[in-house]
Amino acid sequence: MIESNGVERTNPLDGFWEVTLTNSWKRYWITYKVRPEEFKKSVIVGRRFVGSSPKPQGSVFIRNVKLEQGSKPTDYSPAPEDTTVAITAVKNELNTAINLRVQKNELLSQINLQAGHTLIQSKKIYLDAETVAFSGKAFIPNAAIVDLRADKITAGTLNASKVSIINLDVNRLTGNKTEFVKSFWRSAYGNYVNIDYSGMRVTYGNTTTEFNSHGMEITAVGESIGGIGWQGMKNMPPNYQGLLFWLDGGGDYMAWAARNNGNYNMNPLIKLSWYRKEWTPPNSNAGFNFDDTVTFNDIVYPSGKPSDGMALRFFTTKYNGHSYPTIGSASMKSGIMFGDWDLFLIFNDKVIPLQGWKIPVSLDQGRVSYYKEIEY
């Protein structure tokens, strides 16, 4: 028997051998010469004799025990059959899954690969590559992205039903349909557009235009002016409806105006206007005022209901080679015809000049006391 210190000795009884322990790991080896006729061998490593004196104290640690055949001791290595088993176990594990794990205290990072499933887990994941590509049907159920370049987004449909956008800078927004629960757009100059379930309001300076279920309403300088919309009519069927131009209590007049032909900058000139009796501008009267040429192509009904549908008509009568403006009955068989200095009566389609007629201008006890002759 040869010890690791090179000492050779003989212990024919059982090959007993003692070592002196230290406080650090130390390698020991011993070479035995055995008789060939002994076919059964056994080795006891690290025996402590409880009955020895003094009694052993503390603990003994032994590792990397190796039993080999040969004349020279070699460094520790697993048995070949153990290595094969370990390799087979790893191979079997790799055939089903790969798991790489690093853990320090509460921090854990791991990569787990299985058939049809890959897990990458860490507190922070860094991707450093020139190109990151997703193929197939890659799907991210939830993502928190600090910076996103919108010019790199290509998608068929973006469902933004749960997207909250604080500031949106858009030069051009194109689409076939937009659904808003509520929307508010403000410009840098204080003008804004507000859209909600009740309609849309556009404010520019001190003027607000509102589009609601009945049409359009305008408010200016804090007063409701009026609007344009549809309305039914009292005592008429529900489907009796029409277009209504209406003036609210804060409005003072309604007018139709036009710029001169070819002019795009002047204030429009009023052509037809309607004023309240409480406040009228100079040279105007309450009610309708016409400030341009007026043509009546049909009959005009006075207030009330004339008998048998009788009404007035403005028409032209030809007489002695001239055409004279005439105000007469709807049938045009009677009326008054006007010339520049002539005046005519029409009675039953006959034109009667009034020149030379005498008109009673004074009565005395029921009798005409003075006539004035019509002269031209």
What mean pLDDT comes out for the span 312-340?
92
Q: Are 302 and 312 in contact (CB under 8 A)?
A: yes
- Report the chain's mean pLDDT, rounded to a whole number: 80
Q: Which residues contact 221 (CB under 8 A, 6 or more apart)?
A: 206
Q: Are 119 and 108 in contact (CB under 8 A)?
A: no
Distance CA 329, CA 300 (A): 10
Give the tens place of pLDDT for each residue, 249-307: 999 999 999 999 999 999 999 999 999 999 999 999 999 999 999 998 898 888 887 77
What's the confidence (pLDDT) of residue 346? Answer: 92
For 335: left if phi > 0, alpha if psi spans -120 to 50, otherwise beta; the answer is left
What's the confidence (pLDDT) of residue 271? Answer: 95
Quick one: which H or E segment has residue 92?
helix 80-96
Query: Mind giving me the DSSP string for 33-81?
Result: ---TT--------S---TTSSSPP-S-----------SSS-------HH
Task: Indicate whether 175 pLDDT > 80.
Answer: no
Query: Confidence band (pLDDT; 50, 70, 90) for 7?
Result: low
What mean pLDDT comes out for the span 168-173?
70
What's the confidence (pLDDT) of residue 101? Answer: 73
Task: Indicate whether 308 pLDDT > 80.
Answer: no
Task: Indicate whether 159 pLDDT > 90.
Answer: no
Task: Indicate whether 182 pLDDT > 90.
Answer: no
Q: Are 30 and 8 in contact (CB under 8 A)?
A: no
What's the confidence (pLDDT) of residue 241? Answer: 92
The residue with greater pLDDT, 97 or 201, is 201
What's the confidence (pLDDT) of residue 305? Answer: 77
Tokens of 64: 């990397």
What mean pLDDT comes out for the span 44-71?
76
What's the confidence (pLDDT) of residue 351? Answer: 92
DSSP 8-state symbol, 268: P
What mean pLDDT comes out for the span 2-29?
70
What's the confidence (pLDDT) of residue 220? Answer: 93
Tokens of 288: 């309708």
**Residue 150, SS3 per DSSP:** helix
Q: Are 336 and 355 in contact (CB under 8 A)?
A: no
What's the confidence (pLDDT) of residue 36? Answer: 67
**Residue 84, SS3 per DSSP:** helix
- C-alpha atoms less than 13 angstroms from C-alpha of 243 in its C-beta half-sphere: 2
Domain definitions of the chain by residue range: 1-77, 260-294, 307-373
What mean pLDDT comes out for the span 172-181?
67
Distance CA 50, CA 58 (A): 12
In three-state form (DSSP H/G/I as H, E/B as E, the rest C), the secondary structure along 120-144 is EECCCCCCCCCCCCCCCCCCCCCCC
Task: Indicate whether 166 pLDDT > 60.
Answer: yes
Distance CA 354, CA 280 (A): 40
Q: What is Dmax (Cα atoms) for the chain?
A: 186
Query: Confidence band (pLDDT; 50, 70, 90) for 210?
Result: very high
